[in-house]
Chains A and B, each alone.
Chain A
Amino acid sequence: MTLSTDQILALAPDASSAKAGSALATASKWSNLGNSDIAVWGECQGSGSTPYRAQIDLREPAFKCSCPSRKFPCKHGLGLFLLYSGKAELFAATAAPQWNLDWLQSREARATKKQETAEEKLQNLTPEKLAQQAEQAQKREEKREAKVARGLQELQTWLEDLAREGFSSLRNAGTAQWDAIAARMVDAQMAPLAGRLSRAGRLAFQTSISDWEEQLAREIAAIYLLIRAYQKIESLTPDLQEDVRSMLGWNQSQDSLLAQAGQVDCWQVVAQKTRDDERVRTRITYLCGKSSGLWAMFLQYAVGTQGFDRPIAVGSEFEGELVFYPGAAPLRALIKDQRNVSVIKEYQFPATQFDAGMQSYARAIAANPFIERLPLSLSGLRLQLDGERGLAILPDQQALHLPENFAYGWQLQAVSGGQPMTLVGEWDGYCFTPLSVQTDRQFLSLESDCLL
Chain B
Amino acid sequence: MTSMLTASIKKSLLLGTSRAGAQAQNDLPAALQDSVFADATKQADMPESDLWERIAALDLWTRAGAQTLAITSRATAIAADEKLQPCPQQAETKLSLLLQGTYPELRFEWLSLARQYGCHLPYKFLPAMLELGRTQPVFRPYVAAVMGERGKWLARQNPAWNWQADTELVEDELWETGTVEQRLEVLRLSRSKDPELGLTMLQEVWSTEPPEHRIRLIQCLKENLSVADQEFLERALDDKRKEVRTTAQTLLLSLPDSLLELRMRARLDTLLSIRPDITGDTELVVCLPLERDKAMQRDGVGSTTYHGTGEKAGWLLDMLAAVSPLYWSEKWQLSPVQLFALAAKTDYQQVLLTGWATALQTLSARPGMQDNTSPQFEGWCLEFSRLSMHTDSKHRAILSPFVHKILANVQSGFVYEFFMELLAPAQASSNFSVWTILELFQQVAAQKRRLPAALSIAIVAHVRNKLNELTAEFWSLKQVLNTLALVIDPAQLHDYERDWPRADPHWDKWQTTIDDFLALLRFRSEMMHTFLEQQ
Q: Please, what's the 1-or-0 string for B489-524, where 1 marks a CB less than 8 Å from any CB in chain A?
A: 000000001000000000000000000000100110
On chain B, the residues within 8 Å of A213 by CB distance are 13-14
Q: A28-B497, A365-B60, A398-B68 are in contact. Are A451 and B1 (CB under 8 A)?
A: no
A386 is an interface residue with CB less than 8 A from chain B: yes
B465 is an interface residue with CB less than 8 A from chain A: no
Instruction: Let me know if A166 and B3 touch, CB within 8 A.
Output: no
On chain B, the residues within 8 Å of A113 by CB distance are none
Q: A6-B96, A15-B100, A369-B60 are in contact. Are A394 and B68 (CB under 8 A)?
A: yes
Instruction: Tell which of B125-133, B136-144, B163-171, B213-221 binds the partner.
Output: B125-133
* A209-241 contacts to B (CB < 8 Å): 211, 213-214, 217-218, 220-222, 224-225, 228, 232
Instruction: Let me know if A224 and B63 touch, CB within 8 A.
Output: no
Taking the closest CB of chain B, its distance from the CB of A338, in whole angstroms, is 26
B90 is an interface residue with CB less than 8 A from chain A: yes
Instruction: Let me know if A163 and B64 touch, CB within 8 A.
Output: no
On chain B, the residues within 8 Å of A449 by CB distance are 124
On chain A, the residues within 8 Å of B63 by CB distance are 361-362, 365, 428-430
Instruction: Tell which of A16-24, A266-274, A286-294, A321-329 binds the partner.
Output: A16-24
Contact residue among B16, B62, B519 (Cβ-Cβ distance under 8 Å from A165): B16
Taking the closest CB of chain B, its distance from the CB of A432, in whole angstroms, is 10
Instruction: Let me know if A167 and B14 touch, CB within 8 A.
Output: yes
Instruction: Let me know if B127 and A414 touch, CB within 8 A.
Output: yes
Contact residue among A164, A228, A354 (Cβ-Cβ distance under 8 Å from B18): A164
On chain B, the residues within 8 Å of A444 by CB distance are 124
A384 is an interface residue with CB less than 8 A from chain B: yes
| Size band of the interface chain B makes with A | 35 or more
Contact residue among B56, B66, B77 (Cβ-Cβ distance under 8 Å from A224): B56
Q: CB-nearest residue of chain B relative to A4?
A: B89
On chain B, the residues within 8 Å of A305 by CB distance are none
A410 is an interface residue with CB less than 8 A from chain B: yes
A106 is an interface residue with CB less than 8 A from chain B: no
On chain A, the residues within 8 Å of B266 by CB distance are none
Instruction: Let me know if A26 and B13 touch, CB within 8 A.
Output: no
Q: Please, what's the 1-or-0 string for A155-199, where 1 marks a CB less than 8 Å from any CB in chain B?
A: 010011101111110000000000000000000000000000000
Contact residue among B49, B56, B68 (Cβ-Cβ distance under 8 Å from A399): B68
* B51-93 contacts to A (CB < 8 Å): 51-53, 55-56, 59-60, 62-66, 68-73, 75-79, 89-90, 93
Per the bound structure, the CA–CA distance linking A225 and B59 in Å amounts to 11
Contact residue among B3, B90, B519, B522 (Cβ-Cβ distance under 8 Å from A214): B3
Instruction: Let me know if B1 and A401 touch, CB within 8 A.
Output: yes
Contact residue among A160, A384, A429, A451 (Cβ-Cβ distance under 8 Å from B125): A451
Q: Please, what's the 1-or-0 string for B397-439, where 1 marks a CB less than 8 Å from any CB in chain A?
A: 0000000000000000000000000000000000000000000
Instruction: Tell which of A132-140, A296-304, A415-423 binds the partner.
Output: A415-423
Interface of A is mostly: helix
Q: CB-nearest residue of chain B relative to A28?
A: B497
Q: A213-B14, A221-B56, A401-B1 are in contact. Are A410 and B127 (CB under 8 A)?
A: yes
Q: CB-nearest residue of chain A relative to B52?
A: A224
A385 is an interface residue with CB less than 8 A from chain B: yes
Per the bound structure, the CA–CA distance linking A221 and B63 in Å amounts to 14
Per the bound structure, the CA–CA distance linking A222 and B62 in Å amounts to 13
Q: A391-B69, A394-B68, A399-B68 are in contact. Are A220 and B1 (CB under 8 A)?
A: no
On chain A, the residues within 8 Å of B102 by CB distance are 18-19, 22-23
* B185-214 contacts to A (CB < 8 Å): none
On chain A, the residues within 8 Å of B334 by CB distance are none
Instruction: Let me know if B78 and A417 touch, CB within 8 A.
Output: yes
A260 is an interface residue with CB less than 8 A from chain B: no
On chain A, the residues within 8 Å of B101 by CB distance are 15, 19
Q: Please, what's the 1-or-0 string for B341-371, where 1 marks a CB less than 8 Å from any CB in chain A?
A: 0000000000000000000000000000000
Q: CB-nearest residue of chain A relative to B127?
A: A410
B46 is an interface residue with CB less than 8 A from chain A: yes
On chain A, the residues within 8 Å of B49 by CB distance are 156, 160, 163, 224, 228
Q: Please, what's the 1-or-0 string for B21-47, where 1 marks a CB less than 8 Å from any CB in chain A?
A: 000000000000000000001000011
Q: A165-B16, A168-B15, A451-B96 are in contact. Are A418 and B78 (CB under 8 A)?
A: yes
Per the bound structure, the CA–CA distance linking A430 and B458 in Å amounts to 66
Instruction: Let me know if A385 and B66 touch, CB within 8 A.
Output: no
Q: Please, what's the 1-or-0 string for B93-116, where 1 marks a CB less than 8 Å from any CB in chain A?
A: 100110111100000000000000
Instruction: Let me know if B59 and A221 touch, CB within 8 A.
Output: yes
On chain B, the residues within 8 Å of A5 by CB distance are 89-90, 93
Q: CB-nearest residue of chain B relative to A170?
A: B14
On chain B, the residues within 8 Å of A19 by CB distance are 97, 100-102
Q: In the complex, which of the residues B12, B66, B78 has the most CB atoms of chain A within 10 Å of its own CB atom? A: B66
Per the bound structure, the CA–CA distance linking A397 and B72 in Å amounts to 8
Instruction: Let me know if B59 and A413 touch, CB within 8 A.
Output: no
Q: A430-B66, A452-B128 are in contact. Are A393 and B77 (CB under 8 A)?
A: no
Q: CB-nearest residue of chain B relative to A166?
A: B16
Q: CB-nearest residue of chain A relative to B130?
A: A410
Q: CB-nearest residue of chain A relative to B75?
A: A382
Taking the closest CB of chain A, its distance from the CB of B352, in whole angstroms, is 52
Q: CB-nearest residue of chain A relative to B80?
A: A417
Q: A6-B93, A222-B56, A384-B73 are in contact. Are A163 and B1 (CB under 8 A)?
A: no
Instruction: Let me know if A166 and B12 touch, CB within 8 A.
Output: yes
B175 is an interface residue with CB less than 8 A from chain A: no
Q: Please, what's the 1-or-0 string for A1-40, where 1 marks a CB less than 8 Å from any CB in chain B?
A: 0000110010000010011001100101000000000000
Instruction: Let me know if A168 and B100 touch, CB within 8 A.
Output: no
Taking the closest CB of chain B, its distance from the CB of A203, in whole angstroms, is 13
Per the bound structure, the CA–CA distance linking A397 and B69 in Å amounts to 9
Per the bound structure, the CA–CA distance linking A19 and B56 in Å amounts to 47
A351 is an interface residue with CB less than 8 A from chain B: no
Q: Please, what's the 1-or-0 string for B225-261, where 1 marks a CB less than 8 Å from any CB in chain A?
A: 0000000000000000000000000000000000000
B145 is an interface residue with CB less than 8 A from chain A: no
Q: CB-nearest residue of chain A relative to B4?
A: A214
Q: A19-B101, A214-B3 are in contact. Are A414 and B16 (CB under 8 A)?
A: no
Taking the closest CB of chain A, its distance from the CB of B494, in whole angstroms, is 11
Taking the closest CB of chain A, its distance from the CB of B38, in whole angstroms, is 14
Q: CB-nearest residue of chain A relative to B154?
A: A414
Q: CB-nearest residue of chain A relative to B511?
A: A47
* A407-440 contacts to B (CB < 8 Å): 410-411, 413-415, 417-419, 428-430
Taking the closest CB of chain A, its distance from the CB of B530, in whole angstroms, is 10
Given A221-B53, A224-B53, A413-B154: 11 more A-B contacts, CB < 8 Å: A159-B52, A160-B49, A163-B16, A214-B4, A220-B52, A222-B56, A386-B157, A398-B69, A399-B68, A418-B77, A451-B125
A-B pairs, top 7 by smallest CB distance, nearest first, are A429-B63, A166-B16, A417-B79, A398-B68, A160-B48, A221-B55, A224-B52
Question: Can you identify 21 A-B contacts, CB atoms within 8 angstroms?
Answer: A5-B90, A9-B96, A18-B97, A19-B97, A22-B102, A23-B519, A166-B20, A211-B1, A214-B4, A214-B5, A218-B56, A220-B55, A222-B59, A224-B53, A354-B68, A385-B157, A386-B76, A397-B70, A414-B126, A417-B78, A429-B59
